[in-house]
Structure 1
Amino acid sequence: MRISTSSFYEQNVTAMGLQQQKLFRVQQQLSAGTKFLSPADDPVGAARALGVSESLSLSSQYATSRQRAMLSLSREETALDSATTVLQNIKTLTVQAGNGTLSDADRQSLATTIQSNLDQLVGIANADDGNGQFLFAGYKSASAPFAAQAGGGIKYVGDQGQRLMQVDVARQMSTSDDGRSVFMSVQGGAGYVTTAGAANTGTGVFGSATVVDATAADFGKDFQIAFAGGNYTVTTGDTPPVVAASGAFTAGVPISFGGLQISIAGQPADGDSFDVTTAKNAGTDIFAAIGELVSALRTPVAGGGEAAQARLQNALSTANVKVTNAHDNVLTVISSVGSRMNELESLDSAGSARTLMDEGYLSEIRDLDPVAAIAEFYQRQTSLQATQMTFAKLNSIALFNYL
C-alpha cells in the first residue's frame, strides 16, 4: 500500500504533537507537585482528595474554635482565682473580727477593709474579656451583669445562658458560666445555715449545726428554734409548721431534730429564735451576705452588754458559713473550668493526630513521586528528540539529492 508524502508528513507531525503534549503534562505535574492536574485525570482520586481536604478544613476550624474556647476559659479561670483570693481574705477577716478584745473602732476598720474586698469582688464579677464582652453575663455579654441598687445591694441583671462552641465533630462546650451560678448559688451538699432572729434580746450564741442522721424523716427541711419559759420548741418550715422537737433548754446541751444537732450557749430570752435553714433557702447572694457582715461590724457593741456581743457573734458565725459556702461554690466552678480545659487539650491532641493521618492520606492520593516523574520526563524528552530527528532526516530525502 502506498502512503502519500502528505499523509506521512501529517502522521509524523501529529505523533510529535502528542509526544510534546505528554512531555508538557509531565512538566506541569513536576511544577505543581501533584499526580493529577484536573479531576478528569483521575476522577476517583480527585473525589477522595476532595473528601480528605474537607476533613482537614473542618479539623482546622475545630482547632481554631478550641483555641478561642481555651482563651475564654483561661480568662474565666483567672477571674475566679481572684474571686477565691478575695473570699478567703474575707473569711480570715471574719474570724479576726470575732476576737473579743477588739474595740468598736477596730471592728469599724475591719468593716472598711471587708467593704473594700466586697467592691473588689463586684469588680471581678463584672470582669470582661478585653473586647467589651463580660465574662459572667450569660447571653447579655454586652453589659455588666451586676449592678448596684439605689437602696443598697447588688442585683444580677444578666441571664443564665451558656455560650456554647463547637470544639469537635460531636462536642459542644460551654466557654463561660453565668454570674448567678457563680456568685449567687451554693452547692447541693452545702451545710445548714443558722441565723439568729433580728429581734433577739438574750445572750444565746449558737454553734454549728452538724448532721447526725441524714436519713431522718425531717432531714432537708428548714427549722426554727423558739424559746419561751426556759423551754425550746423546734418547728419545721412546713405550712402549717410541725413540731420536730421540744424540751427544757440547758445551755451547751445539744438540741437534736430532723437529723441535726446544734448547741446554744448563753441564755436566750423569751421570744428569741434561731433559724436553721438549708443553704439554698438561707440566701445564696454572697454580696448580700458580705454587706450584712459589714453592717454587723459597724454596729457598736460597747455599752450593749452581753446581748450585743451575742448578736455580733451570731452575725459573724452566719456570715462565715455563707462566705464558706460561696467560696466552695466558686472552687467547684473553677474545677469545672479546669476539666473543660483539660478536655480541650485532649481534643487538641486527638485532632492533631487525625490531621496528621489525613495529611498523609492526602499526600498518598495526590502528591507526585518526583523520582518517577523526572525519569518519565527524561524518557519522553529523549523519545521526542529522537522522533524529531528521524522526521527531519526522512523529510529531507528526495531523488534530486542523488542526481
Structure 2
Amino acid sequence: MRISTQSFYEQSRTAMGSLQSNLLRVQQQMGANSKLLAPSDDPLGTTRAMALAQSIAMNSQYSASRTQATQTLTQEESVLQSTTSVLQNVKVLLIQAGGTLNDTDRANIATSLQSNLDQLQGLANTDDGKGQFLFAGFKSGSAPFVRQADGAITYAGDQGQRLTQVDASRQMAGADDGRSIFQSVQSGAGYVTSARVDTVNPNSLGNVGSGVFNSTSVVDVSNGNYGKDFEIKFSGTGTVADPVMFTVDTVPGQATLPSAEVYKEGRPITFGGLQISISGAPAAGDTFKVAPAKNAGTDVFSAINDAIKALKTPVDNGGPAAQAKVLNALGTANRKVTNAHDNVLTVRASVGSRLQELDALGATGDSRTLNDKSSLSNLQDLDYASAISEFYQRQTALQASQQTFVKVQQIALFNYLK
C-alpha cells in the first residue's frame, strides 16, 4: 500500500496537533488549579459545583448575620445584667425605707433611689455604638425613654423587632423592645395591692386611716372570681355601736364578696381565691385595691417614682396615719419592682437561649460549609501529582511524535545512493 507524501504530512500534522492540544489543556488546568475549564467539560459536575458555591456563599452571609446578632444580644445581656443589679439595689432601699426612720433618713433613701432611677433610664437608653438605640424597636434613631417635665419617664419607641436571618429557615430578634423589658410583667406575676389614692388632693398618698396591708397570697386559683380586680372597702367609726366593717367588691362594682364583716386587725381576709391581712386601724372610706399585676401598672420607672415621692413627704409629725401611707406606698412599689425584676430575668433567659441557639447554628453552619467545600473540591480541584505526571507524559508523546516526523520525512531513496 502506497502512502502519498501529502497524506503523510496531513496525518502527522493532525496527530501532533491533537497531542499539543491535550498538553495545552493540562497546562491550563494546572494554571487554573481546576479540572473544569468550561461547563462542557462536565455539565453535571459544573451544575453541582455552581450549587455548592452558592451554598457556601449563603452560609458565609448567614455566618456574618449570626456574628452581628451575637454582638447585639451580648450587649443586651450585659445591659440587662446591669439592670438586674440596679433593681436589686432598689429593692434593698425600699425594704430599708420601711424600717424605723425619720424624715431625713427617708429623704436620703429617696436621693439614692433617684440615682438608681437615673441609672436605670441610662441603661434603657443604651445605644449600639453606631447611633442606634438598643431598646427603641423600629424607632432606633432616638432615645426610647424620655423624661417629662413632671419627672415621669415615658416610652417613645415602639414594639417592633428587627429580625435577622441567621440561617436558611431561622429569623431571630437581635434585641428586645424597651416596653417588653421595662414596662411589662410576666403572666404569672400575681396580684399587687395598693392603698386608695386621693384624687381631690394629688399630694396625698391615699387612705386617712392607719391601716397597712401585708402581702397578698393565692389560695385557690380555681375560684370563679380569681383573676379579677378587687376593692376592700372600710366603713364605721370604730365604736361599739358602729364597729369598723369591710366589704370586698369586684371592679367594676359587682356583688360583694363576701358579705360585710367586722374588721379585726391582722385576721386574714379571704376572697376570690386570694388572702390578705391588714394591720392598724383603717378609717371609714379607706380602700385597698387588689389587682393582677398587669392591671396594677407595669411601668418600673413609675413605680420607683411613686416610692421617691412617698419618701420625700414629711411624716414625722403625722402620726400612725402618715406612717401608714408611706408603708403602703413602699409595699406597692416593692411588689411592682419585684415583678419588673422577675420580668427582666425572664428576658435575660430569653437572650441567653438565643445566644445558645446561635452557637448551635454556628457549629452546624461551619460543618455544612466544610462539607460543601470538600464536595466542591472533589468536583473541580486539580490533583497536581496526577496532572504533573500527565503533563510530562503528553509532553514526551508530543516530542516523540515530532522527532518521528522529522526522521520519517528525511527518508528518501536518494539518501542511499553513493
TM-score, length of structure 1 as denominator length: 0.97
1:309 aligned to which of 323, 328, 333: 323
Note if 1:366 corresponds to 2:380: yes
Q: Secondary structure at the match of 2:171?
A: strand
The match for 2:50 is: 50
The match for 1:95 is: 95
The match for 2:346 is: 332
Distance in 1 (alpha carbons) for counterparts of 2:23 and 2:38: 17
Distance in 2 (alpha carbons) for counterparts of 1:84 and 1:42: 61
1:141-180 superposed matches below 5 A: 141-180=140-179
The match for 1:21 is: 21
Aligned-pair distance for 1:167? 0.8
Q: Which runs of 4+ in 1 moved over 6 A?
A: none
The match for 2:399 is: 385
1:2-401 superposed matches below 5 A: 2-100=2-100, 102-198=101-197, 199-229=206-236, 230-238=244-252, 240-245=253-258, 246-401=260-415
Aligned-pair distance for 1:200? 1.1
* 5+ residue gaps, structure 2: 198-205, 237-243
What is the CA deviation profile of residues 39-97 of structure 1, one whole-angstrom value per residue up to 9, with x for unaligned ones?
Answer: 11111111111111111111111111111111111111111111111111100111111
Aligned-pair distance for 1:389? 0.7
Aligned-pair distance for 1:3? 3.0
What is the CA deviation profile of residues 107-161 of structure 1, one whole-angstrom value per residue up to 9, with x for unaligned ones?
Answer: 1111111101101101111101000111111111111111111233011111111
Q: Secondary structure at the match of 2:175?
A: coil
Q: Secondary structure at the match of 1:243?
A: coil
Distance in 2 (alpha carbons) for counterparts of 1:36 and 1:218: 76
Distance in 1 (alpha carbons) for counterparts of 2:153 and 2:266: 38
Query: Aligned letter for 2:250?
Result: T
Aligned-pair distance for 1:267? 0.6
Distance in 2 (alpha carbons) for counterparts of 1:34 and 1:374: 13
Q: Percent of aligned positions with the same letter in both sequences?
A: 59
Aligned-pair distance for 1:280? 0.5
What is the CA deviation profile of residues 175-204 of structure 1, one whole-angstrom value per residue up to 9, with x for unaligned ones?
Answer: 111111110000000021110113411111
Aligned-pair distance for 1:227? 0.5
Distance in 1 (alpha carbons) for counterparts of 2:344 and 2:187: 13
Distance in 2 (alpha carbons) for counterparts of 1:278 and 1:217: 15
Query: Aligned letter for 1:302?
Result: D
Aligned-pair distance for 1:106? 1.1
Aligned-pair distance for 1:12? 1.0
Distance in 2 (alpha carbons) for counterparts of 1:18 and 1:113: 91
Aligned-pair distance for 1:284? 0.6
Please provide the CA RMSD for this pair.
1.2
Aligned-pair distance for 1:402? 3.1
Query: Aligned letter for 2:393?
Result: Q
Aligned-pair distance for 1:270? 0.8
Q: Secondary structure at the match of 1:386?
A: helix
Distance in 2 (alpha carbons) for counterparts of 1:282 and 1:47: 63
Q: Secondary structure at the match of 2:126?
A: coil
Query: Aligned letter for 1:214?
Result: V
TM-score, length of structure 2 as denominator length: 0.94
Aligned-pair distance for 1:236? 0.3
Aligned-pair distance for 1:399? 3.5
Aligned-pair distance for 1:10? 2.7
What is the CA deviation profile of residues 377-397 of structure 1, one whole-angstrom value per residue up to 9, with x for unaligned ones?
Answer: 121111111101101111222
Aligned-pair distance for 1:253? 0.2
* 5+ residue gaps, structure 1: none
Q: Secondary structure at the match of 2:257?
A: strand
Distance in 1 (alpha carbons) for counterparts of 2:296 and 2:229: 9
Distance in 1 (alpha carbons) for counterparts of 2:131 and 2:88: 28
Distance in 2 (alpha carbons) for counterparts of 1:369 and 1:123: 61
Aligned-pair distance for 1:99? 1.4
Query: Aligned letter for 1:94?
Result: L
Distance in 1 (alpha carbons) for counterparts of 2:151 and 2:104: 23
Query: Aligned letter for 2:356?
Result: N
Aligned-pair distance for 1:260? 0.4
Q: Secondary structure at the match of 1:220?
A: coil
What is the CA deviation profile of residues 212-241 of structure 1, one whole-angstrom value per residue up to 9, with x for unaligned ones?
Answer: 001111100000001101100110013x43
Distance in 1 (alpha carbons) for counterparts of 2:329 and 2:143: 31
Q: Secondary structure at the match of 1:244?
A: coil
Aligned-pair distance for 1:398? 3.0
Alignment coverage as a number of residue pairs: 401
Aligned-pair distance for 1:358? 1.2
Aligned-pair distance for 1:368? 1.9
